[in-house]
Structure 1
Amino acid sequence: MSRELVFSEKFPQKPHNCPAVKVPGLIFCAGQTATGEIKQATTTVLQNLKEVLELGGSSLDKVVKYNVLLQDMGDFAAMNEAYIAFLPKPMPARTCIQAGCLPGGSTIEIECIAQA
């Protein structure tokens, strides 16, 4: 199976990670993170995922699954408010868990899988 790495100056490939990988029919986006107030952080992360998906020839409309990691599950309602307002309907499948420690003190991390 062929794999195509998706990256740019804004989303560089790192030795241990790539912002997204395309395989026939699908694009897998690595987690995007943000710090600060959860509604704004959620919007920032989703905007970054939107840009990564577009670099790979996809879009938020084609996402079939999100994985959301929150530093504090107490932020769920506020995260969900920003999440719902940002995404088209019908909503894709989603998992949301509390993660004990996210990279760089982030308050949220979201990854996704979309149709390519």
Structure 2
Amino acid sequence: MSREIISSEKYPEKPHNSPAVRVPGLVFCSGQVGKGPDIKAGTVEALSALKDVLELSGATLESVCKYNIFLKNMDDFVEMNKAFVAFLPDPKPARTCIQAGRLPGGPDSIIEIECIAQV
């Protein structure tokens, strides 16, 4: 099976991971972090970055099959959902959401979102 690394100047490869990996029919996007100033803004920030990475791979938000969401604080779940639902088209994909002890990107990181999409 062939794997293609998806990266750009804005979303470069890192020593430990790639922004996305495309295999025939699917793209696996690494988590993108949102810092806020609040969970709604952080959610939009993370989804906007995922949208950019998906477009680099030939996919779109409409082609996402599964999201994994990691929240710094599960008390943000209701407000995160408001931003998430408003940002995405119907029908909504499958999704998991958990509280994470600590997110990458420093202490200001409040959400991380990763996804799998069809291409």
- For the aligned pair, the TM-score class normalised by the smaller chain equals over 0.9
Deviation of residue 58 (structure 1)? 0.4
1:107 equivalenced with 2:97 (yes/no): no
1:89 equivalenced with 2:90 (yes/no): yes
SS at match of 2:47: helix
Aligned to 1:79: 80
SS at match of 2:8: coil
Q: Distance in 2 between matches of 1:35 and 1:58?
A: 25
Displaced runs of 4+ in structure 1, greater than 4 A?
none
Aligned to 1:61: 62
One-letter amino acid matched to 1:26:
L
Q: Distance in 2 between matches of 1:34 and 1:10?
A: 16
One-letter amino acid matched to 2:22:
K
Aligned to 2:26: 26
Q: CA RMSD in A?
A: 0.5
Aligned to 1:10: 10
Asked whether the equivalents of residues 35 and 45 of structure 2 are also in contact (C-alpha less than 8 Å), the reply is no
Kindly, what percent of the aligned residue pairs are identical?
63
SS at match of 1:28: strand
| 1:23-47 Cα shifts (integer Å, max 9, x gaps) | 0000000000021210000001001
Structure 2 gaps of 5+ residues are none
Aligned residues: 116
Pairs within 5 Å for 1:36-47: 36=36, 37-47=38-48
